[in-house]
A = this chain, B = another copy of it.
């Protein structure tokens, strides 16, 4: 494995000179012939600098760490994520995703801290604790930013309050004259951080209405599970259902139709996330659209936080939500 010393030897110069040349050091002027000899030597050896050694020496890195999401990213989130990566790269950061599957919050924070990232962009879903934030900061992280429903002491927060989604759905259904509302809660593990606040939001929306009733409904993401739920549908006495998201809504919609339940006549069905696929159904699915922040904006927040580590944690409520009425409600 070639090191800068090897390059120096081959070029007949010192390691210092190699470093100057390869980093385009402006403070030092290196003669053109020397510069070329070094470049050629580096190319010939296939020299690649050692990031760990470099950041060890420098005392800091430009690494922005994000935990790998456990759930499959939707197209929307995936888009924002790509934007974010672009924007951070333009600001000369390196984005690294770190798989923390099956670690507790504090374990994960420690594992991240070992990498000495300059910034951490973590989910704001309760896995990261104030202790975790403290560990990260002590280890040199200039900025810790959470992105999700909850904020964490000491960290900047981009609040995406999923309750707003539920509230929005609830308001729309009440608006349509529906009062006996089922709320689908996915049975699959890992969805609680989204489904619980969505349910809570819907509850909040119906709170002022004495005649309203909210019934949580467990549903697994498969047809037998939907059939089972629908088999006891009429006993439930619901006139509408908020199905967690468009995918569960589509699953439920088909099952309801197969059971002869008229949608929206007998039961209104509402999804969330505004997937294209939901628009393709008959009836077209009503949904809640969320507006995610632009990747550019996230990147700017991260950069600002890195440049001013002492600044007070910023808390940005994001996630504009909007009901999109279509044919299913």
Report A's interface with B, CB cutoff 8 A. 1-2, 46, 48-53, 55-56, 61, 68, 70-75, 77-79, 82, 85-86, 89, 94-99, 101-102, 110-111, 113-116, 134-135, 138-140, 221-223, 247, 250-251, 253-254, 276-277, 279-280, 282
Say how far A56's CB is from chain B's closest CB, in angstroms.
5
In the complex, which of the residues B50, B114, B116, B135 contacts A116, with contact meaning CB atoms closer than 8 Å?
B50
**Which B residues lie within 8 Å of A86 (CB)?**
101-102
Given A72-B72, A99-B96, A140-B1; A247-B52 close (CB under 8 Å): no
**Which B residues lie within 8 Å of A61 (CB)?**
52
22 intermolecular pairs with C-beta atoms under 8 Å apart: A1-B140, A46-B134, A48-B113, A48-B138, A49-B114, A52-B56, A52-B115, A52-B116, A68-B95, A68-B97, A72-B73, A72-B79, A82-B101, A85-B99, A89-B99, A89-B102, A94-B98, A95-B98, A96-B96, A97-B97, A223-B279, A277-B277
- Assembly stoichiometry (copies): 2
**Which B residues lie within 8 Å of A89 (CB)?**
99, 101-102
**Which B residues lie within 8 Å of A85 (CB)?**
68, 99, 101
Are the C-beta atoms of A251 and B223 separated by less than 8 Å?
no
In the complex, which of the residues B2, B46, B53, B114 contacts A51, with contact meaning CB atoms closer than 8 Å?
B114
**Which B residues lie within 8 Å of A70 (CB)?**
82
Are the C-beta atoms of A277 and B247 separated by less than 8 Å?
yes
Say how far A73's CB is from chain B's closest CB, in angstroms.
5
Q: Give Cα A268 to B222, complex, Å.
A: 25
Are the C-beta atoms of B276 and A222 separated by less than 8 Å?
yes
The CB with the most chain B CB atoms within 10 A, among A52, A61, A113, A222, is that of: A52
**Which B residues lie within 8 Å of A113 (CB)?**
48
Q: Give Cα A45 to B115, complex, Å.
A: 18
Q: Give Cα A250 to B102, complex, Å.
A: 36
Q: Give Cα A61 to B52, complex, Å.
A: 10
**Which B residues lie within 8 Å of A53 (CB)?**
52, 56
**Which B residues lie within 8 Å of A97 (CB)?**
68, 96-99
In the complex, which of the residues B56, B135, B250 contacts A48, with contact meaning CB atoms closer than 8 Å?
B135
A278's closest neighbor in chain B, by CB?
Answer: B277
Are the C-beta atoms of B71 and A78 separated by less than 8 Å?
yes
Q: Give Cα A51 to B56, complex, Å.
A: 10
The CB with the most chain B CB atoms within 10 A, among A85, A86, A111, is that of: A85
**Which B residues lie within 8 Å of A282 (CB)?**
282
A279's closest neighbor in chain B, by CB?
Answer: B223
**Which B residues lie within 8 Å of A110 (CB)?**
48
A78's closest neighbor in chain B, by CB?
Answer: B72
A64's closest neighbor in chain B, by CB?
Answer: B99
User: Other than the known A50-B114, A85-B101, A89-B101, what 9 A-B pairs have Cβ atoms closer than 8 Å?
Assistant: A46-B138, A50-B56, A72-B79, A95-B99, A96-B99, A223-B279, A251-B276, A253-B280, A254-B280
Say how far A119's CB is from chain B's closest CB, in angstroms.
14
